[in-house]
Amino acid sequence: MTAAAGEPYEVVIEAIGARGDGIARRGATRVFVPLALPGDRLRVRIAGRRGDGLVGEPVERLEQAPRAKPPCPHFGACGGCQLQHLPAAQYRAWKQGQVVTALARQGLRGIPVTPLASTPPGGRRRARLAFVREGGAIRLGFRERTGHRVVAVRTCPVLAPELVALLPPLGDLLAGLDLARGGGEVEITASATGIDLLIVAPPVPGLRDRETLARFAHAHDLARISWAPAAKAEAEPIAQRRVPSVAFDRVQVPLPAGAFLQASSAAELLILRAIGEAIGRARDIADLFAGCGTFGLPLAAGGGTVHAVEAEPAMLEALRRAARSAGLAARVTTEVRDLQAAPLAGAELERFDAVVVDPPHSGARAQAAALAASGPGRLAMVSCNPATFARDARSLVEGGYECLWVQPVDAFLWSSRIELVAAFAREAGARSEPCRSRPGG
């Protein structure tokens, strides 16, 4: 069968895939059907290919499995959420099951995966939205489920209320800016001192735009507005009324523009508690991919000594400033280092009782290999990608670690994304002995 087959045909949805789409089968070929749930019977037409499967476009619903009522009017078009229609018990089981499946694909079976730890709606404190100009107006929102079209969003049950309230005036602001004429993106962050707004668009803001942005910051009591020509480019402050900051377990941290944060403070607290359980009473701790100190600063405040390693100098500078202000300078050291290219290894790891690793979506392949060879007895790994986590976990297990448990956290409510924390341990001096949770065990 090919994607050119134009006649609709009947399918039954058997499961939900990693992106949140329903999965049916046509012979040996998987067919991905958006917004479909297990038990749905539909007629679909092939709309394209995805990897080694096909994308099915529903043309008729013959039977429909029980559904939850989506809380958002934009659900289905907006690509921010994929699973608002999935009943709560199935939703929790699916997210937990994605972690179990990812581990099993790496031969890691029998590892305890705890039930999903939930976070409440309305807690997402940071979001990136896209905007495009349409005539004299601006379409501001999230990208559609497939493709690059921007779905206009005026409400969102996931975002913090202060961010939702800013969306309509933000759209009006962008409509009047010369720098927004070609479209771009905005990042909005709810900080303890007010909203931090970053506009990402190629044109350099002129005097008129700068004056408009300054007035907007005053009128809406924003902490800061910055501009950058591209994603990950250095940001230039345009209007700063207060320094945006967040508290990591009572330690106030000044935020660089576009700084990485956990999705919500509720998720951050759940993760921090799990890290504490994973590393126990460790006193000399390496915090790898440390960011602004999300976990390292609370660990230092709790009495540990922390060596924070991060590739972005601005984030480490924010961490150092926070440590000084909180009286933790003697407990915190920092190192600018790209751990993907140059992982901490060998003798560099020997002085630590425990390591905390929080890599990006691509995981920590090189660092996991180095830890497998010479890591300490306790290790906590945080991940937003079960697949790369499982790959790295296999390296650790093959190096002598036991994976004690994995805790999924619902940091990205109603999306197919999953945050998790895992605890690893091995006996002092062990480096390559097989352990109970070994691949295939």
What residue type is assigned to position 374 of the chain?
Answer: S
Single out the residue of 36, 87, 83 nearest to residue 62, CA to CA: 36
384 in active site: yes
**Which of the residues 81, 384, 403, 435 is marked catalytic?**
384
Single out the residue of 413, 128, 152, 137 nearest to residue 270, CA to CA: 413
What residue type is assigned to position 395 of the chain?
Answer: S
Single out the residue of 149, 137, 179, 142 nearest to residue 163, CA to CA: 142
Burial annotation 216-254 (CB, 10 A radius, 16+ → b, else e): bbeebebbbbbbbeeeeeebeebbbeebbbbebeebbbb
The pair phi, psi for residue 342, each rounded to 5°, is -140, 75
Report CA dihedral (69, 73, 79, 85) to the nearest 10 degrees. 0
The span from the CA of 365 to the CA of 368, in Å, is 5
Active site residues: 384
